[in-house]
A and B are shown apart, each in its own frame.
Chain A
Amino acid sequence: MPDPATTPGPQDRPVAGPAPGRSDTAARIRDGAPQSEKDASSAPDHDAVRPTRGSGRLIGGTGRVPSGTVGQSPIRPESEAKVNGAFDYASDLAFPDMLWGNTLRSPHPRALIRSIDTAAALALPGVAAVLTAADVPGKLHYGLIEADQPVLAPDQVNYQGEPVAIVAAETLDLARRAADLVTVDYEVLEPRCDADEAAAAGEYFRYQPVRIGDPDTAGAAVVVAREYEVGMQDQAPLGPESGVAVPVEGGLVLHVATQWLHSDLDQIAPCLGLEPERLHLSMAGIGGAFGAREDLSVQIHMAMLAMRTGRPVKMMYDRAESFLGHVHRHPARMRYEHGADADGRLVYVKARIVLDGGAYASTTEAVVGNAASLAVGPYNVEHVSVDAWGARTNNPPCGAMRGFGGVQTCFAYESQMDALADALGLDPREIRRRNALARGDKLITGQVVDAYDPDEAPAGQPFSPLRDLLDRFDGIPVPPVPAGRDIVELPGGTGNTTHGEGVRRGVGYGVGLKNICYSEGFDDYSTAHVRLELGGPEHGGEPVAYLHTAAAEVGQGHWNLQQQIARTELGVEHVVLLPNDTRAGSAGSSSASRQSYMTGGAVKAACEAVRELWRDRDLADGPIEATRVFRHRATKPMDPVTGQGESHVQLALCVHRATVDVDVELGLVKVVDLTCVQDVGKALNPVALEGQIHGGTAQGLGLAVMEEIVTDAGRVRNASFTDYLIPTILDMPPMRLRIVENADPDAPYGLRGAGEPPTLSSTPAIVAAIRDATGLPLARVPVRPEHLTVGRPS
């Protein structure tokens, strides 16, 4: 354990260290403080969260401009620990006298449970508890939007991998063996796995139409009608689901790696039959999320086992279980019909979109709303008929993943724009430019595109953010084909499949439109507490700002940004982040590209409040504190019949140009260049921002050419990193970025959420480039070698 004397705050410890305590919760939380399995003596001093570079000139409260403010790229407070392996991820936590939990999951996609026999498992020496649905202390179901998912399957399982029983034992291996000894008598049923059939049969979580104009009578010079399919992508966070539940006097401390602590709390407490005050959730180190940590995984299970045994219980999935234990991106089947006039201007769009939500609701409802409202992309069209379903099947549950309903339709509508351009002999950028939404235009939901500077009107026309981005490619040439390439630069890489034989180059564009923050009338807010006080000798007696929020650092750099905002607003150099936990108010989820906007906005507001108070007070007289709740502008639900409504907060755009080399004989693809132009409103931290664009683009590349959870009659066939492939450094090319700052006057610092848009646009850009190289229509992602050669999908 780190020496308490090194803790920076008078009462609290900074992030990346074990959980602290104070006031009435202090005792039990201190009881719940974890040990690290790692050698604490080699761990860095987490006090290194303070900024280290230069001090500046006089302004504001302190009379200084510290370094590491908004717009700069200071080193992240947790970087050193992450790089040298000292950072405690959730899977690194350990407590004295700790038991290990394990989950028994259904091997069947659909079956009735006739009986469960736990006697043999309980009889195994070292097994402390075996629990089933009958042991759930409170409500039997939970869920992010609708509580429809059983904590443990009571009498029926509805997907392969559904939890049926949980076990706690002295070691993980024992817990696994005990789970194997639980006998479940199943009556296997025929699973429903076809989402179209399910939707047609009324088995869906949401149906959302959008209707404007009259597409059936609107005449068009050119019509393209195609069907598209998107495979089931996985978030594939490298950190497996993990956490520890620690019994304390009067309740439980849960160390969890989640995207939204308070949503977890709201779902966990009723199932445990505990008042929320008896639960304390403390954020454990998160090894990637991308939507996979929105739904609960280990939380209720480990808590049940800890309550039953009175001992700390850790759960940690292995890779195979992780693939079964979190939701995936909705696979989609989409039929699109675009009609355009002879100049390529859209006349009408009809779309039928079926998303497979799998067995339980998760966030399907919201995903369908995005798919429907963003169904035509950032283009003007007067006549629209969209029907979008989120079907209920016995496939793996699908929910949140980066892009959240925007990814699937983006692949379809961008493919359609290319098909129209082909039919009309237009350049792919030109057809997009001709249809691009401008300020004052309306989305298909009737929502007016605002949030751009009204005074900016090039050539007297309303400013079009999309045209602005498209035009910036003029100065960026497609890379030339180099001579004498090494095999690692060619499709197939070290597989040595081509030395140039069969290789053709292609170029394609993709545009993505993503809503930022939570939509459709959701009361979306974040809370920040800031305390400013005079520091001790370790801070040179200078002011120190302590920030307390519940916002999840999922790798995006949010902790760093909070410190940057505090330095900017308070002019102080020393900013200490307190651990993220449920003592803070809700921060909302690290989802929907919203955390810079929302918790960034809350921290900014709280710092501004402290700064105001500071004008009239001397810090020597005592700390100055403020808590602020930040809300974005209100949104409205979509009309259930017409889909109309100002449902979104903010819109963000990204454009990719992909250059690919395709070995057309073997069907192997090498993406050789990805150029990205993205409007981020304001680059708060350029390095982190570039990382977001690189990462989002890579996930889009994965969906384009390799990433898919393959199911067969509801069973996952590739729950491993051996067969669920994600891009390596030889698959992901170096990127060229043009970061555009068209400020949103409504948003903190003018920012636009940036994490998701690149995930939308890179996929269609890459597929367009492969079409360009091969001449094939390619209506399905991921594109597999078979699709480019022998034909049919596997």
Chain B
Amino acid sequence: MTAAAPARFGFHRPAAVDEAVRLLAEHPEAVPVAGGTDLMVAVNYRLARPEAMLDLTGLAELREWSDEGDAVRIGSGVPYARITAELATVLPGLAAAARTVGSPQIRNRGTLGGNLATASPAGDGHPPLLATGASVEIATTAGVRYVPVSEFYLGPKRSALRPGELITAVTVPKATGPQQFLKVGTRNAMVIAVCSFALALDPEARRLGTGIGSAGPVPLTAPHAEAIELPWSTPARFDNTLAAEFGRRVAAAARPIDDVRGTAEYRRHALAVCAARALRRVWTAAHERTGR
């Protein structure tokens, strides 16, 4: 019987990370696949035709996360559903973002490692990683290197990942205060972001972290917005004017385009609204937490 099978290609299924990186070194054309929620869609649409694939689903070590004290090390193969279910307390921003990815089926398979490897500016995982200063753990046969996530994204679907390299984990600092993630889509679920925004507040360090998604060639931060003067000593003086100014600064940091999902003008507008709401929410939460 004939079948709708694609052409033959190489398929490697390592059982351990060192074997995986060795195979990658030997077969640099091989594309790692974990959940397959991006890659296999591209293959089915013939946007990608990998000569070979490196199946990561046999690597149990990639599907674990561990408490590293001030941070959580999340194996690159941990699916979004587990991030939402298991890490919402320590990584609330990332967990909120994970909850917005695709459908339940996609969240059961899709991984943060895949999100990074694809490096789409619309990837939901990026803004909270930027807002919290996460770092990407990358392995080769030569060893492991760590890339701050702020240096990871180089262009639309381009990253600092080099041939032969495998993303093994992401280290995300634990929340030191309230975090928010807001994602705007034209449907109430299962939608690619028109734009998104992540905010992390560190009341002790008196610091804000930001991340902007789907409003530029790469996921962005908003340094000028992070530098906004906030009434740390007199939190009650926080007002809507301040929130709106923060929103304006975030919108100004975006570099959106018009596309089929939304206009650049709308993206800037929506980012301003989302950022103002996010700041009000984290400020209120931090104030309630410390002051009452």
Contacts and interface: CB of A to CB of B under 8 A. Distances in A.
B6 A730 contact: no
Contacts of A177: 7
Given A496-B96, A666-B273, A789-B269, A170 B2 contact: yes
B192 interface: yes
A491 interface: yes
Contacts of B263: 786, 790, 792, 794
A731 B189 contact: yes
A525 B271 CA distance: 57
Contacts of A316: 4
Given A98-B1, A730-B189, A497 B262 contact: no
B292 interface: no
Interface in B1-47: 1-7, 44-46
A790 B184 contact: no
B185 interface: yes
Given A496-B100, A497-B182, A666-B273, A785 B262 contact: yes
A171 B4 contact: yes
B187 A725 contact: yes
Secondary structure class of chain B's binding surface, majority of residues: loop
B269 A496 contact: no
A318 B265 CA distance: 34
Interface string A685-708: 000000000000000000001100
A786 B183 contact: no
Contacts of A173: 4-7
Contacts of A792: 263
A667 to B, nearest CB: 8
A493 interface: yes
Contacts of B184: 492, 495, 497, 666, 668, 785
B136 interface: no
Contact of A785 (B182, B188, B266, B277): B266
A789 B188 contact: no
Contacts of A728: 187-190
A171 B1 CA distance: 10
B261 interface: yes
Given A497-B182, A497-B277, A731-B187, A723 B2 contact: no
Interface in A95-119: 96-100
Secondary structure class of chain A's binding surface, majority of residues: loop
Contacts of B96: 496
Contacts of B261: 723
B186 to A, nearest CB: 6
Nearest to B101: A494
Contacts of B180: 496
Contact of B2 (A171, A176, A496, A497): A171
B2 A666 contact: no
Contacts of A3: none
B137 to A, nearest CB: 28
Interface string A303-323: 000000000000010111000
B70 interface: no
Contact of A493 (B189, B194, B280): B189
A318 B45 contact: yes
B260 A718 contact: yes
Interface in B163-201: 180-192, 194, 196
A319 B182 CA distance: 30
Interface string A727-743: 11111000000000000
A536 interface: no
Contacts of A667: 266, 270
A501 B266 contact: no
B185 A495 contact: yes
B181 A496 contact: yes
B258 interface: yes
A254 to B, nearest CB: 18
A725 B186 contact: yes
Given A497-B183, A790-B263, A99 B190 contact: no
B134 interface: no
Nearest to B100: A494
A752 to B, nearest CB: 33
Given A100-B2, A100-B4, A496-B182, A727 B262 contact: no
Contacts of A174: 7
Nearest to A669: B188
Interface string A81-99: 0000000000000101111
A94 B2 contact: yes
A96 B260 contact: no
A434 interface: no
A718 B191 CA distance: 14
A174 B33 CA distance: 24
A449 interface: no
A331 to B, nearest CB: 16
Contacts of A717: 260
Contacts of B281: 499
Nearest to B180: A496
Interface in B218-239: none
B63 interface: no
Given A176-B46, A794-B262, A171 B3 contact: yes
A710 interface: yes
A337 interface: no
A355 B86 CA distance: 53
B4 A666 contact: no
Contacts of B274: 497, 666
A498 B100 contact: no
A447 B207 CA distance: 73
Contacts of A496: 96, 100, 180-183
Contacts of A720: 45
Contacts of A48: none
A172 interface: yes
Nearest to B270: A666
A45 interface: no
B45 A790 contact: no
A670 interface: yes
A731 B188 contact: yes
Contacts of B258: 794
Contacts of B270: 666-667, 785, 789
Contacts of A495: 100, 182-185, 188, 191, 196
Contacts of B189: 488, 493-494, 728-731
Interface string A164-203: 0000001111101100000000000000000000000000
Contacts of A492: 182-185, 188
B126 interface: no
B82 interface: no
Nearest to B103: A728
A785 B274 CA distance: 14
Nearest to B280: A501
Contacts of A670: 188
A246 to B, nearest CB: 14
B5 A784 contact: no
A665 interface: yes
B249 interface: no
A722 interface: yes
B267 to A, nearest CB: 9
B1 A789 contact: no
A171 B260 contact: no
A31 B243 CA distance: 73
Given A171-B2, A494-B99, A725-B186, 15 more contacts: A35-B1, A99-B2, A100-B2, A171-B5, A172-B4, A318-B45, A491-B188, A492-B182, A495-B184, A498-B277, A666-B274, A706-B186, A725-B191, A728-B189, A730-B189
- In order of increasing CB-CB distance, the 7 nearest A-B pairs are A493-B188, A495-B183, A730-B189, A172-B4, A730-B188, A786-B266, A717-B260
28 contacts: A94-B1, A171-B4, A173-B4, A173-B5, A177-B7, A319-B45, A320-B45, A491-B188, A492-B185, A492-B188, A494-B100, A494-B189, A495-B196, A496-B180, A722-B192, A728-B187, A728-B188, A730-B187, A730-B188, A731-B188, A731-B189, A785-B194, A786-B262, A786-B265, A789-B270, A790-B269, A792-B263, A794-B263
